[in-house]
A = this chain, B = another copy of it.
């Protein structure tokens, strides 16, 4: 914590990542949410996915999602809704209380991050934003290329 005033880039990014992650964790915890529960509520803000879709969205096994949704349901944050088109399927939906919680936590968290960035003047914030965006865009592009078939041209 009392280290040099200029870190190497890798260390800097790691520390920044822990700072952001820790801030998210703390804000969620204030409302009795774990990071996973917060992610669940966040994902549900604009969707009513089935359990299966939810598992894919969160990158979890379906059995993990069963428990996750169960605990959130017990707290009145989400509701299970039977699908009419497929009697096996269940849709998950935010309750009013769940939505309010998600919105409030997100607002507090965004304010935290803004505060963390407030040490930089506006032009510097914009420069940081531009650099970060370039990294993320390059990363997204690289991932898509990775996912493209390596043996397609002839098949």
Mostly helix, strand, loop or mixed at chain A's interface?
helix
In the complex, A82 has a CB within 8 A of chain B: no
Asked if A135 and B110 sit within 8 Å, CB to CB, the answer is no
In the complex, A29 has a CB within 8 A of chain B: no
Q: How many residues of A contact B (CB 8 A)?
A: 44
Asked if B131 and A124 sit within 8 Å, CB to CB, the answer is yes
Tell me, in angstroms, the Cα distance from A131 to B7 when the chains sit together.
11
Say whether, besides A17-B21, A24-B14, A8 and B129 are in contact (CB < 8 Å). Answer: yes
Which residues of B have CB within 8 Å of A85? none
Residues in A1-56 with C-beta less than 8 Å from chain B: 1-2, 5-10, 12-21, 24
Tell me, in angstroms, the Cα distance from A13 to B114 when the chains sit together.
10
Tell me, in angstroms, the Cα distance from A114 to B13 when the chains sit together.
10
* 8 nearest CB pairs, A to B: A119-B138, A17-B20, A9-B129, A12-B132, A17-B17, A128-B131, A10-B113, A6-B133
